Amino acid sequence: MSKPPITVKLAPHQKEALGKLQNGSVLQGGVGTGKSRVAAAYYVLTEEHEEVVVITTAKKRDSLDWEREFARFGVGKERDGTVAGILEVDSWNNIHKYVDRENTFFIFDEQRLVGAGKWAKSFLKIAKRNRWILLSATPGDTWLDYIPVFVANGFYKNRTEFKREHVIYKPFSRYPVVERYVGVNRLVKLRNQILVHMPYARQTTRHSVNVWCSYDEEKMARITHGRWNFFEDRPIENVAEMFLLMRRVANSDPSRAHKLLELIDKHPRLIVFYNFNFELDIIRSLTGTLWQQRGLAFAEWNGHKHQEIPREDKWVYAVQFVAGAEGWNCTTTDSIAFWSLPYSYKIWEQAHGRIDRMDTPFSDLYYYILRSKAAIDFAIWRSLMSKQNFQVSQFDLEDAEYFDKVYQTDPSSEGTQDKHEAYLESKHGGRKHGGRVPDRPALQDRGEGRGRPARARTR
């Protein structure tokens, strides 16, 4: 693929990814690595008198980030102000308005195609009639999350066919629970066909710090052993309610508020991610006192309020994980505190990327994880780490090979060797094994190759 006929400068990792993109690709790059610019360049290079529609988050639509990105390439929203097609930017909530479009190039920003809901169905209708690419730092936590893009690329006819061939459900359960997957080798090959990985050696260094908090063991025992909801003074109805109550006891302990106060003293500008409304109430009461005493500004982003980041010298910005983990960035602070843990690794990684941008002035970024030693916190943490392993399992070796290739091609490139060594240091503790990542065992199909054929049970 030739260079774009424009003067926009692309970084080496962006040029590498641009040459691999094709219709139906999923551009996977870390948060803040410039996926938007690559997508705009790909459209300018390949458009055939097509309009371009960007489906993104509401916050990113309102911030006009995509308009500024396309303006670098001469693409605008008016017929007399564009060198190619007309640009439209809309949110995922309005994706159904475009199901009848034809001869249009679609850019789907962020992976919101999980499940079989309205968004996924609208996406499949659009993909049949138009060219498209999808941008995401975290395409999926499990194989089920890949079903819409697999179907859109013609690998499977529908969700039913995918599940029939690859999903085994647990027997005797009240609702469908995935026990394991079969035919994983084929799934890995299909994923490799559509994913375009864009590795980037960041200039920043992430420092994750566990901030240990206490919890009320007596209250926790009343929930786990007594099965009693003492908040409403009634028995616990089911396991889901028990888990929520366990999280409430752990996450509402006064020690978390004390730890957050210490972090605010250490970092005058702090983003705080949270999950539940009761956590927000604690943060509000805490910052309300600090506003009166120290003039600390406070703002929040959630399903009820969409406030911008304060411009004062000292502030706290409370963000709900699901509502605000994607589609915005902040380069005026180097610190994030996680009041509690999310269940999704995709949301977890996206939240980290809000301050880890290519244009951030900070080289060291700090992430404070407020955790207790309660069983529920350890269980959620193990779940996050297992989903992380699924996300990065296929790319560790490829990233190292990429930086080896760049260094061999242009060893005099400024900072290339340092970036390569820094990457290996962060991933594998230095240039072990001759600077290469050791081979990992291939993914195996559980239930196959053990003297018995795989048995697919569907429900």
Domain 12-198 -> CATH class: alpha beta
Q: Which amino acid is at 4?
A: P
Residue that wins the pLDDT comparison between 398 and 320:
320
Judged against a pLDDT cut of 80, whether residue 23 lies above it is answered with yes
Confidence class of residue 214 from pLDDT cuts 50, 70 and 90?
very high
What pLDDT is stored for residue 391 in this prediction?
58
Short-list 111, 151, 146, CA closest to 29: 111
Packing angle of the helix pair 239-251, 217-224 (nearest 10 deg) = 180
For 96, 112, 151, 177, 390, the CA distances from 117, given in Å and listed in that order, are 11, 10, 14, 19, 24
CA-to-CA distance for 139 and 142, rounded, in angstroms?
A: 9
Lowest mean pLDDT among 14-18, 194-198, 415-419: 415-419
Residue 332 CB burial class (10 angstroms; 0-12, 13-18, ≥19): middle
What pLDDT is stored for residue 66 in this prediction?
92
What pLDDT is stored for residue 141 in this prediction?
79
pLDDT tens-digit map of 34-51: 899 999 999 999 887 789
Q: What's the distance, CA 148 to chain centroid?
A: 17
- CA torsion sign, 383 to 388 to 394 to 400? negative
Taking residues 366-389, what's their average pLDDT? Answer: 89
Residue that wins the pLDDT comparison between 47 and 277:
277
What pLDDT is stored for residue 181 in this prediction?
94
CA-to-CA distance for 242 and 238, rounded, in angstroms?
A: 6
Residue pair 251/279 in contact by the 8 Å Cβ criterion: yes
Q: Which two three-digit tokens encode residue 2? A: 């030739």
Judged against a pLDDT cut of 60, whether residue 263 lies above it is answered with yes
CA dihedral 250, 253, 259, 263 (to 10 degrees): 80
Taking residues 96-123, what's their average pLDDT? Answer: 89
- At 29, give phi and psi (nearest 5°): -140, 155
Q: Where are the beta strands (DSSP E) in 57-199?
A: 87-91, 104-109, 131-136, 167-169, 178-181, 195-198
Over 363-374, what HEC string results?
Answer: CEEEEEEEEECC
What pLDDT is stored for residue 4 in this prediction?
45
CA-to-CA distance for 86 and 75, rounded, in angstroms?
A: 7
Confidence class of residue 416 from pLDDT cuts 50, 70 and 90?
very low
299: helix, coil or strand?
Answer: strand
Taking residues 298-327, what's their average pLDDT? Answer: 90
Parallel/antiparallel/unpaired status of strands 167-169 and 178-181: antiparallel
Residue that wins the pLDDT comparison between 208 and 64:
208
Confidence class of residue 390 from pLDDT cuts 50, 70 and 90?
low
CA-to-CA distance for 404 and 422, rounded, in angstroms?
A: 13
Q: What percent of the chain lies above the pLDDT cut of 70?
A: 82
pLDDT tens-digit map of 146-202: 999 999 999 999 999 999 999 999 998 888 889 999 999 999 999 999 999 988 777
- Domain spanning 205-392, CATH architecture: 3-Layer(aba) Sandwich (3.40)
Query: Does 12-198 match 205-392 in CATH topology?
Result: yes
Domain ranges of the chain: 12-198, 205-392, 396-435
Judged against a pLDDT cut of 80, whether residue 7 lies above it is answered with no
Taking residues 253-281, what's their average pLDDT? Answer: 95
Lowest mean pLDDT among 137-141, 143-147, 284-288, 367-371: 137-141
Q: Where are the beta strands (DSSP E) in 142-294?
A: 167-169, 178-181, 195-198, 205-213, 228-229, 234-235, 269-274
pLDDT tens-digit map of 72-93: 998 998 888 888 889 999 999 9
Parallel/antiparallel/unpaired status of strands 315-320 and 269-274: parallel
Packing angle of the helix pair 254-266, 277-294 (nearest 10 deg) = 50
What pLDDT is stored for residue 408 in this prediction?
43
What pLDDT is stored for residue 11 in this prediction?
86
Short-list 346, 307, 441, CA closest to 140: 346
CA-to-CA distance for 424 and 233, rounded, in angstroms?
A: 54
Lowest mean pLDDT among 43-47, 60-64, 328-332, 380-384: 60-64
Short-list 156, 134, 128, CA closest to 143: 156
